[in-house]
Every structure is written in structure tokens, then in C-alpha cells.
Structure 1
Amino acid sequence: MKFHKSMVPVALALAMSGHALAAVTAQEAQQLGTTLTPTGAEKAGNKEGTIPEWKGGLTAANAGVKPDGNRRPDPFADEKPRLSITGKDVAAHADKLTEGTKELLKRYPTMRVDVYPTHRTVNFPQRIVDNTRKNAVAAKTTDGGVGIENVLPGFPFPIPKTGNEVMWNHLLTYRGLGFNFKYDSWNVGANGTPVLATTGNVTYAWPVFDPKKADFLNEKDPFWLVKLQYLAPARRNGEALLVWDSVSPLKQARRAWQYLPGQRRVKLAPEVAYDTPNPGSAGASTYDDATVFNGAMDRFDFNLVGKKEMYVPSSNYKLTYYSQPGDITKPGHVNPDLVRWELHRVWVVEAKLKEDKRHIYSKRVFYIDEDSWAAVASDQYDARGQLYRSSYSYPSFAYDVQAQYIDSQVFYDFNVGMYNISGLAGAYNGIKYLTELPGENYWAPDALAGAGVR
């Protein structure tokens, strides 16, 4: 695997540790907005011209299309693939494919990677940009990389030196103040038959990005709030889930509550974390697989490998807003006609399970898009060191609100031969972005009982 030469010293320096503190100097920070984008990506394109220069990203003004309610039309709908990769071509493109993508291509003759022209759509509100510049020289990790301090609402580490710093950029990638949508989640078994796992209504919110918040993030403050109400199938109708994730999880661990109609009560749910199998995916993913990775980083050592050009999902407006789920869920894999891949530079982070910790994965490799800091893919390995699962998000930039949407996602389980796909909003009313946070009562555990009554 070939990585940027500029990253080799970093990789060597961090070979023994994924969480050493590494300050950014004021001189280094001056790269932001010059040779780097305001949030830390390389501004220049690659020498082959297959990755273009970043020129400010996609905005509502230059997208060429207008949102249709809560649906965002594809500004690149007329483009054709410049390259299609099948199982016969894996060896020729292996250096630019994740291990999971190679496995899919080898297993399924119907699998295909259609590579489209690369677009660098991402840009962020000015307050996020301004705070990111300040964070570059002030932000620090704490608790061995598991927590953070001196962080303003923005990306904490635009010039990262450790794997934990890259992963914190992912956890705090700007996805707006929050959004609400109704979605379907489908399980596709080894026999190729899709089964509806859940229909739900979910609200995500990031109170740290409230425009009224101008101070440092408090270590015990929740930075991510999730409220989920299950509507289908009938056996799950009325269930509800609430999750709070805090800035420093070793000082304030994840708090989660569930409402189960049969019990008629709200109960604490500490198991909604780490490697607990997610029942909504028939166990094909863990709770910390959602959005490729979420939750605390204390069970793994996160090592920064480097930056690499790879074919990853990008600008997947077609898939996210596609209205016929039956066309999406094909045997073995998601319908390749609906997935857009592009060549992007990604940060590669390898997480190895600590000797004194437990998790069903012994190793995880994450691929984080340089422009958005969102994880777009990962490979998960079992205790034998063999490829076990792979996850993908299918991003699409919400050009009207300057936020990256990453919640159309799929989880492949290679041992079982099944996959789960979730976050499909096309059959319903699209994705509604919040302009203000719901009140505190909305996020109260007691409110789950009323939300889940059937």
C-alpha cells in the first residue's frame, strides 16, 4: 500500500502509540486556508488530475439544483462512470480498494464499483471554520486520546498527529445542528431475500454546534443526542431508544435508555454500546459500528497509518433519496447501479484491541475522507485476524445547509454472507435539518414512554 511520503515520519513516530499528545505550532496552523483547506484537507488536486483542487465546495447557489422539500436532487445526475471495476479487475486496482470492497468483488460476479469523476463538494459554515483554526493550536486529547479539552465547536484537530485525533474529527464531523427523518433498515440474508428489520423515526442532534454556544466544550456535556422511535415491524412498534454521548467518555460514560411497550417502563440500557450486537441489523453490526464508528475509544489503540488515494462512496444522492427499496437490496450486495464511487484522499487509521480489553473485533481499519473528516468505510477483523465484516457510509453533501450526510450505511458480515442497509429516507419525506434544538424535555428519559406508546 502506498501512502503519501509526507505521512511516513508520522507513521513511524506513532508506531508504538496511537495517543501521544502532539501539539500543532502556529506556523503549521498557517497552512489552513493556504496549502490546506480551512478544515485541513490538501487543497491541491493530485498530479494525475483525477482528484481536483478544492475550490470552495458545493453551495446551494452553484449546485445547479434546488432542494425539493427535504430531498436534495443529485447535482451530478447526468454524469457517467469513468471506470467500472469488477471481480476480474481487482488485482489491477487493489491499491485503491478497501479489503471489504475487494472481498465483495471476488465473492459476487454481480458486484461492480462504478467510479465517477471526483467532486470536492464539502464546505462548512464560517463559525465552524473559525473555531477549527483556533482549535488547531489549542485542542488536546486527554485520557490517552479518549477525551478532549480546549475544543471550540468545530473540528478539533485539522492537522492531526495521532489516530485518536483523526477519529475525534470523525466523531465531531459537522453534520448540522441536527436532523430528523423516517427511514427503513433492511437485512438481506445469504439466500438474497430482503427482510424489513425496522422502520423508525430518528432525531440526531449535536448541541455543541448550537450557534449560541461560543465557549469550550465541557467534558461532561453531551455532544451527540439520538432519539429513535420504532414503528415497524409490528413486534417492534412502540419501542424507543435515547442515547447521550459526552465529550470525555471516561468522565461521563454513554447514557442510554430504552422503552419497551411490553414492560411499560423506561429502563437504563448500558449495553447499547461497544460490541453489543445491534438487533436492528440481525447482529450483522455492533452498536459502535453505526456511522462506521461511534462511542468511546478506550478499548483500542488507534494508530495513524497515513493518507491514501482510494475509491470510496461519495455524493450518493441517488441512493439516499431513492424511493424503491426493492431495487436497492440485491443478493449479496447493494445494487451497484445506485452507488456512486469516487477517488478521494482518505486518512487510514488502524485500531488494535488492547490486551486488557474485550471486543469481538481484534482489529479495525478506518478510512476517513480528508474533506469532511467523516469515516466512509472500515474493515473489521475477528480474533483469528481474518476479515470478518466491512462497513460503508454513502455520503451526500447537503449543499443547502453546509453539512455532510453520512447516515445511509451498510454493514456486510462475510462469515454469515448477509448484510444490513439502513438510513434510507427516499421512501418517505427525506431528511429535515433542524434550525433549532428541541427543548430539554424532548431529550428527557421519561419522555420516551410517551413517545413509544402504542
Structure 2
Amino acid sequence: MTRLTRTLIAASLLAAHAGVLHAAVTAEEASQLGTSLTPVGAEMAGNADGTIPAYTGGLNTPPPGFDKSKGIRPDPFAGEKPQFSIDASNVDTYGDKLTEGTKALIKKLPGYRLDVYPTHRTVGYPQFVLDNTLKNATSATLTNNDETLKGAHAGVPFPMPKRGIEVMFNHLARYQGLSWVAPKYGAYNVDAAGKLVTSTQGRWTYEMPYYDVSKSGDDILLTRARANYTGPARRAGEAVMTFDYTATERGRKAYQYLPGQRRVRLAPDLSYDTPNASTSGMSTIDDINLFNGRMDRFEWKLVGKKEMYVPYNTYRFTYAEKPEEVFGPKFINPDLVRWERHRVWVVEATLKPGMRHIYSKRTYYIDEDSWTALAVDQYDGRGQLWRPGFSYLTQMYDVGGTNSTAGHYDLIAGTYYINVWPGKAGVVVADKLTSDKGWTSDSLAGAGIR
């Protein structure tokens, strides 16, 4: 056997081994989708004691009087009362179904509590998302050191995940509608003295070209987002635009417009643990939506699935009238936050040796129905719990898909924030993408001039 032959055989075996590690599920496995599993991979059945109901397709019908143009979704469960509350007096009783961050907040902050309501599995999808998810199940793979998503389009990439990084790709590609706008969002910080500060205000536009069924290919645009700041006064006129791809090794393409310079510049630092200016540095760029961006600095371990109490169907919080009613001196007004019991995937991210990040470990809790990260526990370089975070989820029942608003508490500094809170201006959703002409650097400059 020649040296060349041995080399070719070794390469073939390595490729075959890699294929086994990263292959899509078999057709036989995928046959569970729509039967014992929902079309996007959640457990169809409820739990043993009935606290989590069986899935019946989600909430896809707006209530009477809903005005889609206003973007405010009335709470379909406004008449419900909490079944019980979890606070400092009984936190240990429910500790196995609470994140470490949740328990720490209850024990650290007097008055912090969870009002637990009946569970409603409201997440529903358009039919094309379900159809494409089924196709993805047997075709989606990760290549290039798990940084390139191939064989997936317009659906959940990995409805039957076998690895933690697949769960996180599902989070990145979760369906949130094709195009939506928060026309007058706010980002709010509460400092250690309990003072509410407006960090940024403006118009937030978010689109998912990945779900455009007219497009195809393996290296396609996953999401594009644009923030046009209108306040506070020192930031009015600024604008930021980002592009993320299914091939995450390409990195993020980002642009920033600063009125003082009267020009658009590339912003390569809008990634990883760069402080997020939108929250006045209270979070990192990859803290947005609890996680976004490249995953190459962490090892992603799939721990399993658990039943947890998490924020869910938080319509009263999401569309509240005034920030002063929502953001208290130490924590979000618990009267406005609905908690429910749901099944979540638990994924543990550990910083790779030789890599740099301000977090040494992050534990994510990903909703089985929406694939949204609903909670995270984040640890500093000493291994100390530092920034627990939560995502407040609502079903956009008029279009299918979900909306979520996220933020973190800083257990060391005694501060917290919420980013892209829509409030009374709501979230307006369109059934098609806007023109590509509105996503150029020139368009960013034109929209940002003051």
C-alpha cells in the first residue's frame, strides 16, 4: 500500500467519522415529527401531573378588536389569576425548577417574586415553516468546525438536536416573522441607586431573509437589523446596521453612522463581549436576545431537558404603557411578569482554553416550543454567578412566530437593564421583506442625519 493510498484512506475515514458526528437525523427518526413530537421538535404530550398541557397547535387567532396596524397585542389571558407565587419564603420548595439566577435574585432582593400562572403552549407557526422544518430534519448539517449551517432553509434547522450547538443554532434561527418594526422602542437601565435611566430610544427594524422561501443556498443571510436612535439627545441621529449569516465563520457585517462625523463606517467590534452601547455598557453585544453571533469561543454541552418556571406570555409587561410602571428600583415590577412552567433544553457553554471572553461559563434554557432562550446564568472569570438574564416571550398570534424582549441583572453591581422594550408603541409585523435598497450604507446615512 502506497503512502498516498494510506493518506486517502485515512482522509476518507476521518470524513466518514465527521459525517457520523454531524449528520442530520434519519428519515425514521424524523417520522416522530408531527406524531410524538410537534412539527418543530417539542414533546407533543403534556407532563405527568398536567401542569404542562399537550400541544394543540398554538395560539393563531387574534382576539376581537385587535388592530394589526397598531402592533399592540392584547393579553389573551388577562382574566387569569396567579396559581401561586414563589418568593423568599418558599424558594427552596421550588428550587429544582428555577434557574440559579432566579434563586439568587429571590434571595438577594427583598420583594422579588414569581407569580406563576397556568401554562399555555401558545407558540404557533405558518405552515411553510413547519414544512421546511421537516425537510431540514434530514438534511441540515454543521461543517467548518460547526460554523457553517448547510442543508437548512426557512424552518427550524435541527428539530431533533443531538448537540448543544444545534440547539443554539435553533435559537439563532427561531422564527420571529419575516419583518417587524418596534417603531418607538426604549432601552432602560436601573443603576445601583435605583434610578431609572433611558439608555437609548429609537426605531428598531428586524428581518429574517433566511425565511424567504424564494431564496436558497447554504451561505445566505440569516438576519439583518437596524437601529435608528432618536434619544437621548446625546445619541439622537446615530444609527447601526448588522448582518448575520448562516455561515457564522464569516462573522458579522456591521455599519455605524455617527452624526458628528457625518459618515458611515464599518463596525467590526460589534460582536462577542464588546460592551453594548445601547445598554450603556451594562451588557455585551452577544448578550442581545440572551445570545447572538458566533459560537466559536465556547464549548456547547447539551445537558438535557427540564421543566422550569420561566417568563412566558408576558403581554402585560411587553406592551405596558409607561416605563415608570414597569422598572422598579431593584427589579421589574413582578405584578406585570407572568411565569409559567415549560420544558426547556439546557445547554452549558464553557469558554474554550486560550479564548477570551468576560464570561467563563453560561447556562442557557431554551424553550422547546419556540426555540427561544428564555433564561441564562452567566459566570465571571472566577466562576461566580454574575449576570442572570431573562427573555420575556409573547406569541404574535396575528402572524405566527414570537417576539421577545431580554435583559440581565448584575448581581455584583446591583443594576439591571432591558433592551428593545416596545411598550405602548408595539411591534408591527409585515408578511414580506422590505427592499434591499433600504439596507445599504448610503441608506443608513440618510436615515441617521439630524
**TM-score normalised by length of structure 2:** 0.93
Output the CA distance in 2 between the equivalents of 1:382 and 1:99. 14
Q: Match for 1:396 among 390, 394, 399?
A: 394
Amino acid at match of 2:415: M
Q: CA deviation at 1:424?
A: 2.0
- The answer to whether the 8 Å contact 2:394/2:402 transfers is yes
Output the CA distance in 1 between the equivalents of 2:418 and 2:212. 30
The answer for the alignment partner of 1:415 in structure 2 is 412
The answer for the alignment partner of 2:206 in structure 1 is 204
Q: Say whether residues 1:451 and 2:450 are aligned partners.
A: no
Amino acid at match of 2:346: V
Q: CA deviation at 1:23?
A: 3.2
Amino acid at match of 1:397: Q
Output the CA distance in 2 between the equivalents of 1:202 and 1:118. 30
Amino acid at match of 1:435: D
Amino acid at match of 1:75: P
Q: CA deviation at 1:145?
A: 2.1
- The answer to whether the 8 Å contact 1:202/1:228 transfers is yes
- The answer to whether the 8 Å contact 2:387/2:409 transfers is yes
1:120-158 per-residue CA deviation (whole Å, 9 max, x = no partner) reads: 011111111011011111110112222210112100100
Secondary structure of the corresponding residue to residue 204 of structure 1: strand
Secondary structure of the corresponding residue to residue 91 of structure 2: helix
The answer for the alignment partner of 2:168 in structure 1 is 167
Output the CA distance in 1 between the equivalents of 2:366 and 2:144. 23
Output the CA distance in 2 between the equivalents of 1:42 and 1:178. 28
The answer for the alignment partner of 2:71 in structure 1 is 70
Output the CA distance in 2 between the equivalents of 1:54 and 1:331. 38
The answer for the alignment partner of 1:439 in structure 2 is 435
The answer for the alignment partner of 1:253 in structure 2 is 251
- The answer to whether the 8 Å contact 2:153/2:211 transfers is no
Q: CA deviation at 1:22?
A: 4.4
Output the CA distance in 1 between the equivalents of 2:65 and 2:388. 33
- The answer to whether the 8 Å contact 2:289/2:406 transfers is yes
The answer for the alignment partner of 1:340 in structure 2 is 338
Output the CA distance in 2 between the equivalents of 1:452 and 1:427. 24
- The answer to whether the 8 Å contact 1:40/1:159 transfers is yes
Output the CA distance in 1 between the equivalents of 2:305 and 2:393. 19
Runs of 4+ residues deviating >6 angstroms: none
- The answer to whether the 8 Å contact 2:72/2:424 transfers is no
Output the CA distance in 2 between the equivalents of 1:202 and 1:363. 30
Q: CA deviation at 1:337?
A: 0.4
Output the CA distance in 2 between the equivalents of 1:104 and 1:65. 38
Q: Say whether residues 1:194 and 2:196 are aligned partners.
A: yes
The answer for the alignment partner of 2:289 in structure 1 is 291
CA RMSD of aligned residues (A): 1.5
1:203-261 per-residue CA deviation (whole Å, 9 max, x = no partner) reads: 00011112433x34x32x221001110100000000000100011121x2211010011
Output the CA distance in 2 between the equivalents of 1:210 and 1:249. 19
Secondary structure of the corresponding residue to residue 87 of structure 1: coil
Secondary structure of the corresponding residue to residue 307 of structure 1: strand
- The answer to whether the 8 Å contact 1:146/1:164 transfers is no
Amino acid at match of 1:132: T
Output the CA distance in 2 between the equivalents of 1:164 and 1:153. 19
Q: CA deviation at 1:20?
A: 4.2
Amino acid at match of 1:201: R
Secondary structure of the corresponding residue to residue 138 of structure 1: coil
The answer for the alignment partner of 1:79 in structure 2 is 80
- The answer to whether the 8 Å contact 1:65/1:73 transfers is no
Q: How many percent of aligned residue pairs carry the same amino acid? A: 51
Amino acid at match of 2:176: R
How many residues are matched?
430
Secondary structure of the corresponding residue to residue 286 of structure 2: helix
Output the CA distance in 1 between the equivalents of 2:198 and 2:266. 27
Equivalent positions of 1:24-35 (< 5 A) are: 24-35=25-36
Amino acid at match of 1:409: A
Secondary structure of the corresponding residue to residue 124 of structure 1: coil
Amino acid at match of 1:188: V
**Structure 1 unmatched runs, 5+:** 1-16
The answer for the alignment partner of 2:61 in structure 1 is 60
Output the CA distance in 2 between the equivalents of 1:45 and 1:65. 31
The answer for the alignment partner of 2:369 in structure 1 is 371
Output the CA distance in 2 between the equivalents of 1:171 and 1:446. 28
Secondary structure of the corresponding residue to residue 195 of structure 1: strand
